[in-house]
A = this chain, B = another copy of it.
Amino acid sequence: MTARPKAQPGKRTNDPEGLRKRVLDVAEASLQARGYHASSLGDLMAAACVTGGALHHHFPTKKALALAVIEERVAAAVEETWIAPVQAAGSAREGVRSVFEAVTAELEQQGFVRGCPLNNLAHELSLADPDFRTALAGIFSAWRQAIADKVRADQQAGREQDTDPQRFAALAVATYSGAMSMAKTAQDSAVLRDCLSALEQGVSSARAKRRRRVLRRHRPL
């Protein structure tokens, strides 16, 4: 049984910020787990222990609530798990690798793949509403931009001369998004490791983590 915040009917204390935070917490979790259309305001109200009047006071419509989650929570999540670590890393390549590994390790530990919040909502809402689409596209853009900027910083330090910043960033984000999509569907994070390995060995050369098997014995004539 999950602990319910706010219960005593005795007294009441106005706490707009706290209530707003509680609603956003619950909404963020529900949007991540069930998506937009499958999340009902009734469930959210019950989970956050908030009445309809209070909810409507802070978020006039369901769309407004979801938009707030996207702009405040999803964007922050991308910032926290991707942008900041990449900026703090020794290089763009190293940053991407470390985020991949950190996320993979976290997924393996908790044994359940919830998927990328941004991608989850992007797929469901991009075509449904232009406001949603714009907000989500902005987060994707900032994500790629941060990685591309890091590549440019590397280049100014004399490294990564042959790497196109924009393309590298697009590939990193796309690979991560797609890998998380598969991991979520298969409920198995192994594909994330495969993708990271393939990314690192440059798609073409392998030599791989262990000895590759040669077996160039029988070639079809």
Q: How far, in angstroms, from A171 to B212 measured CA to CA in the complex? A: 18
Are A206 and B164 also in contact (CB < 8 A) when A37-B37, A126-B115 are?
yes
Chain A's interface size range is: 35 or more
Contacts of A180-221 to chain B: CB distance below 8 A: 181-182, 184-187, 191, 194-195, 197-199, 201-208, 212-216, 218-220
When the two chains form their complex, are residues A174 and B185 in contact, meaning their CB atoms are under 8 A apart?
no
When the two chains form their complex, are residues A171 and B156 in contact, meaning their CB atoms are under 8 A apart?
no
Question: How many copies are assembled?
Answer: 2
Q: Is the CB of A21 closer than 8 A to any CB of chain B?
A: no
**Chain A 114-127 interface mask (CB, 8 Å, partner B; 1/0):** 11000110111011
Contacts of A139-169 to chain B: CB distance below 8 A: 140-141, 144, 156-159, 161-164, 166-168
A positions within 8 Å CB-CB of B? 33-35, 37-38, 114-115, 119-120, 122-124, 126-128, 133, 136-137, 140-141, 144, 156-159, 161-164, 166-168, 170-171, 173-179, 181-182, 184-187, 191, 194-195, 197-199, 201-208, 212-216, 218-220
| Nearest 4 pairs of A and B residues by beta carbon | A174-B178, A177-B178, A37-B37, A178-B178
